[in-house]
Amino acid sequence: MKTPETVRWAGDAIDVLDQTLLPGEVTYKRCDTVELAIEAIYLLRVRGAPAIGVMAGYTLALAMRIAAPADRDMFFDVLESEKARIDAARPTAHNLRWALERCAAAAHHADARSVDALHAVLLEEAHAIAAEDRELCAAIGRSGASLVPEGGGILTHCNAGALATAGIGTALAPLYTAWDAGKRFQVFADETRPLWQGARLTAWELAQAGIPVKVLCDGAAASLLASGQVQLVIVGADRVAANGDVANKIGTYGVALAARAHDIPFYVAAPSTTFDLGTPTGAGIPIEQRNSDEIVEPMGSPMAPQGVEGWNPAFDITPHGLIAGFVTESGILRPPFVESIRTAFGRHGRGA
Which residues are CB-neighbours of 149 under 8 A, at least 6 positions away? 185, 231, 232
Binding positions for its own copies, 287-326, rule CB under 8 A: 295-296, 298-299, 301-313, 316-317
Residue selected from 57, 244, 251, 349 as contacting its own copies according to rule CB under 8 A: 251
Count of other CB atoms within 10 angstroms of residue 72: 14
CA distance 245 to 338: 10
CA distance 64 to 76: 10
Indicate the SS3 state at residue 292: coil
Rank residues 34 and 172 by Cβ distance to its own copies and give the closer one: 172
Rank residues 216 and 332 by Cβ distance to its own copies and give the closer one: 216
Which amino acid makes up residue 319? P
Rank residues 73 and 311 by Cβ distance to its own copies and give the closer one: 311
Q: Per-residue contact track with its own copies, 192 to 231, x per CB under 8 A? A: xxx-x--xx--xx--x-----xxxxxxxxxxxx-x-----
190 is catalytic: no
**Site size with its own copies, rule: CB under 8 A:** 57
Q: Are 241 and 281 in contact (CB under 8 A)?
A: yes
Residue selected from 4, 23, 265, 335 as contacting its own copies according to rule CB under 8 A: 23
Residue selected from 126, 139, 258, 333 as contacting its own copies according to rule CB under 8 A: 258
- DSSP-derived letter for residue 8 is E
Catalytic-labelled residue, pool 238, 245, 276, 316: 238
Residue among 252, 294, 313 nearest 92 (CA): 313
Residue selected from 75, 98, 176, 253 as contacting its own copies according to rule CB under 8 A: 253
Rank residues 181 and 303 by Cβ distance to its own copies and give the closer one: 303
Rank residues 46 and 317 by Cβ distance to its own copies and give the closer one: 317
Residue among 123, 132, 91, 7 nearest 276 (CA): 91
With binding defined as CB under 8 A, does residue 26 bind its own copies? Answer: no
| Beta carbon of residue 43, minimum distance to its own copies (angstroms, whole number) | 18
Rank residues 182 and 210 by Cβ distance to its own copies and give the closer one: 210
- DSSP per-residue letters across 240-279: EETTS-EEEETTHHHHHHHHHHTT--EEEE--GGGEETT-
Pairing of strands 232-235, 213-216: unpaired
| Beta carbon of residue 283, minimum distance to its own copies (angstroms, whole number) | 11
| Beta carbon of residue 216, minimum distance to its own copies (angstroms, whole number) | 4
Q: Are 54 and 166 in contact (CB under 8 A)?
A: yes
CA distance 282 to 92: 11
| Beta carbon of residue 212, minimum distance to its own copies (angstroms, whole number) | 9
Pairing of strands 14-17, 28-31: antiparallel
Binding positions for its own copies, 54-93, rule CB under 8 A: none
Q: Are 315 and 249 in contact (CB under 8 A)?
A: yes
User: Interface with its own copies by CB under 8 A: which range of 84-92, 93-101, 102-110, 186-194?
Assistant: 186-194
CA distance 352 to 347: 6
Rank residues 126 and 258 by Cβ distance to its own copies and give the closer one: 258
Residue selected from 149, 254, 265, 346 as contacting its own copies according to rule CB under 8 A: 254
* Cis peptide preceding 23, ω within 30 of 0: yes
> Environment class of residue 54 by beta-carbon count within 10 Å: exposed (0-12), middle (13-18) or buried (19+)?
buried
| Beta carbon of residue 219, minimum distance to its own copies (angstroms, whole number) | 2
Where on the chain is the footprint of its own copies (CB under 8 A)?
A: 23-24, 157, 188, 190-194, 196, 199-200, 203-204, 207, 213-224, 226, 249-255, 257-258, 261, 295-296, 298-299, 301-313, 316-317
Active site residues: 238
